[in-house]
Amino acid sequence: QVQLVESGGRLVQAGGSLRLSCAASGRDFSSYAMGWFRQAPGKAREFVATVSWSGDITYYADSVEGRFTIARDNAKNTVYLQMNSLKPDDTAVYYCAAKMGVPSRLGHAYGYWGQGTQVTVSS
């Protein structure tokens, strides 16, 4: 079991940066692959980024590649999403998720989810 709490979301202007954090509690955080997903109003949830348990394997959605960076600190039980060059289309609720095994772009592969944090990018 792992519990996830996201933070760091806020209103930011286009072109700005934000860093989201996801704090995990429970056992064996370092055993989990971690992912970030987002859901904009009226749209389906979509994959953003994922990182392996060791931090050395990462995958990104095409829409964020080169602008967002996912990283984790297993000593702090925390995963981060650094978001640069933000666009209004990045506006969404961002969710952190955890799964055993290898990283995945598929939301249904994740067994644990946080409550989300709102990111709003103004033009």
Distance in angstroms (rounded) separating the CA atoms of residues 101 and 32: 6
Are 18 and 86 in contact by the 8 Å Cβ rule? The answer is: yes
pLDDT at position 109: 97
In contact, 33 and 22? CB cutoff 8 Å:
no
- Tens of pLDDT along the chain (123 residues)? 899 999 999 999 999 999 999 999 987 888 899 999 999 999 999 999 999 999 999 999 999 999 999 999 999 999 999 999 999 999 999 999 999 999 999 999 999 999 999 999 999
pLDDT of residue 59: 98
Distances (CA, A) of 36 to 72, 89, 105: 12, 16, 9
* Cα–Cα dist 45/39, whole Å: 4
**Element (H or E) spanning 80, and its range?**
strand 78-83
